[in-house]
């Protein structure tokens, strides 16, 4: 008998290949697996039908193939309040929030975990490319797909009740496992765009919920170069979506929500495009606070390389300051900076996530 038999695991199944393989692997390892589809969003948008019904059916089909119980949890109201409203408020304030991070913090590893445990589960599992051990979070084996950046606000208590089995695999191997298990989602393409709406882009989504006015695109010399359709849509370092004339490409270096102006430059070395010091608010540490003058690594956006850094001020003060060994490009207020340290546990090719905070 497997050491895992009798341990009830509720797997968040989105209808994609990663969560499908997660369920299959845990079943193979002897766990008592139940699949759960989280209905977070069902609203159609102009020109875009929300794919939730299709995703639900794909998840259910895999559950039937595996012969496991299957449920749906309706979190739509809570999702709107905790994730969507948070995102909309951030954009209205002129920053660039990350709804995926908030979704993990508030829905998957808080609401889903609490609901599943109350429903009889011993643990939950997700299809994230990351690894957990003893209430700690580590990078996934596949450096290109590693999703630990999005998970830094999950608590140690939640991590101790969570499994992420595909963190031990690279993406091509996960596809191969799906084929080996004969799963109906084996060739399904990965979803793109916002975490909960499917293929719709962030601009198209925001346009349904915020009112914007055209405004000026202004260069370093104060020259008006053109017109934008709302400062809310632009973020630091952005190149595309600027309807200004030929020549060198322009990059966004700032914006003023009060005057509704977007500021741009053609100079890739412009000081406002680069940062070597970051100030963080809303810190979250999985266990302990980072130590002053200890060497850490920071990631300033998903898939960005790890950059060596030092904490120059105590996290017990109002704000945390990170001094980076090299400049990083296009650090944007509202985004997260995540701290890592080299893993001493012997886990292959991994870094431990210390925690992080919101860039201000």
Tell me the mean pLDDT in the region 282-307.
94
pLDDT, tens only, 114-142:
999 999 999 999 999 999 999 999 999 99
Q: For 226-250, give the DSSP string.
A: EEES-GGG--TT--TT----SSSPP
Nearest alpha carbon to residue 62 among 87, 35, 43, 99: 35
pLDDT of residue 277 exceeding 80, the answer is yes
**Cα–Cα distance list, 274 to 9, 167, 253, 330 (Å):** 45, 32, 10, 6
State the pLDDT at residue 4. 86
Give the pairing of strands 295-299 and 32-39.
Answer: unpaired
Sequence-ordered list of residues with C-beta below 8 angstroms from that of 165, at least 6 positions apart, any chain: 22, 25, 26, 29, 125
pTM of the model: 0.94
Residues that are catalytic: 103, 195
The residue behind tokens 């140690």 is 156
State the pLDDT at residue 247. 83
Phi/psi for 172 (5° steps) reads -60, -35
Please name each of the domains of the chain with its CATH number. Answer: 8-127+164-202 (3.40.50.620), 213-265 (2.30.30.280), 273-359 (2.40.30.10)
Q: How far apart are CA 352 and CA 290, in angstroms?
A: 12
Q: Are 284 and 269 in contact (CB under 8 A)?
A: no
């Amino acid at each position: 008998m497997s050491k895992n038999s009798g341990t009830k695991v509720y797997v968040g199944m989105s209808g994609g290949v990663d969560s499908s393989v997660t369920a299959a692997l845990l079943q193979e390892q002897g766990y008592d697996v139940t699949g759960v589809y989280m209905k977070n969003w069902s609203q159609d948008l102009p020109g875009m039908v929300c794919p939730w019904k299709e995703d639900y059916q794909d998840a259910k089909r895999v559950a039937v193939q595996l012969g496991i119980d299957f449920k749906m949890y309706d979190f739509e109201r809570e999702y709107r309040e905790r994730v969507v409203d948070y995102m909309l408020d951030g954009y209205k304030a002129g920053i660039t929030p990350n709804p995926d991070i908030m979704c993990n913090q508030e829905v998957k590893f808080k609401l889903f975990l609490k609901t599943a445990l109350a429903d009889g589960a011993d643990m939950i599992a997700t299809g994230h490319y990351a690894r957990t051990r003893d209430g700690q979070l580590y990078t996934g084996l596949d450096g290109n797909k590693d999703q630990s950046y999005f998970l830094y606000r999950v608590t140690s208590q939640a991590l101790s009740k969570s499994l992420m089995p595909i963190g031990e695999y690279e993406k091509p191997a996960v596809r191969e496992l799906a084929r080996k298990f004969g799963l109906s989602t084996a060739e399904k393409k990965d979803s793109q765009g916002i975490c909960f709406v499917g293929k719709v882009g962030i601009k198209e989504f925001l346009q349904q919920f915020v009112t914007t006015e055209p405004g000026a695109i202004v260069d370093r010399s104060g020259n008006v170069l053109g017109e934008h359709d709302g400062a809310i849509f632009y973020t630091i370092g952005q190149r595309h979506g600027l309807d200004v004339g030929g020549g060198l490409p322009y990059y966004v270096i700032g914006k003023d929500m009060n005057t509704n102006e977007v500021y741009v430059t053609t100079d890739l070395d412009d000081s406002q495009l680069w940062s070597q010091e970051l100030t963080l608010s809303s810190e979250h540490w999985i266990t302990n606070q980072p130590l002053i003058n200890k060497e850490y690594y920071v990631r300033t956006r998903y898939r960005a390389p790890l950059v060596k850094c030092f904490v120059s001020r105590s996290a017990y003060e109002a704000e945390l300051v990170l001094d980076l060994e090299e400049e990083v490009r296009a650090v944007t207020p509202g985004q997260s900076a995540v701290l890592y340290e080299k893993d001493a546990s012997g886990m292959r090719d991994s870094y431990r996530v210390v925690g992080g905070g919101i860039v201000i």
